[in-house]
Amino acid sequence: MDKRALVEQLAERLRAAAKTARRASEDARLEAREGATPAERREDARVALEQGGLARGQERRAEQATVEIAALERFHPKNLPEDARIELGAIVEVEDEEGGRTLFLAPVGAGAELTVPGGDGFLSVVTPNSPVGRALLGHQVGDSVEVTVGGDAHDLSITFVG
């Protein structure tokens, strides 16, 4: 599987998120400055403060996406033999009581769902900081790991590493 295509797809999602956050930040700043008449602003300064806070929050979101994009630019995952131990960049298939799913262990982008190149399905991104990513690291095909997500314990059986 072309892991570079997965990394680029994830980077594109992060670029779109950064662009959206910057636009929302600019809109909130404009609304804080010009969204009310001077008399309305004097009477209800709280609205301008809230818009300013929203603008700062969106700007932080855009900055975080930029940091994550930079991390992806440095990330060059390699293909792993099926008997390899799970490491950053691995594609891992797991099964639990709810069925099977395919995961991509990336440095950033937790929770993103990516399309497999060629349109053969979807992968969920997990990071080493997530409970699932942390539990999988160092294991290999045939291993079972227990992971607690949202207070619920799950037993994951590793069926493929690549």
Amino acid at residue number 46: R
| Torsion angle of C-alpha atoms 71, 79, 84, 92, degrees rounded to 10 | 70
Q: Which of 82, 53, 72 is nearest to 125 (CA)?
A: 72
- What number is the average pLDDT over the span 32-47? 66
Going from N- to C-terminal start, the domains of the chain cover 3-74, 91-161
Residue 102 contacts residue 79 (beta carbons within 8 Å): no
Helices (H), 35-44: 38-43
pLDDT in tens, 66-78: 999 999 999 999 9
> Is pLDDT above 80 for 113?
yes
CA dihedral sign of residues 154, 157, 159, 162: positive
pLDDT in tens, 88-98: 999 999 999 88
pTM of the model: 0.81
DSSP state, residue 126: E
Fold of 91-161: Chitinase A; domain 3 (3.10.50)
Residue with tokens 């994550």: 68
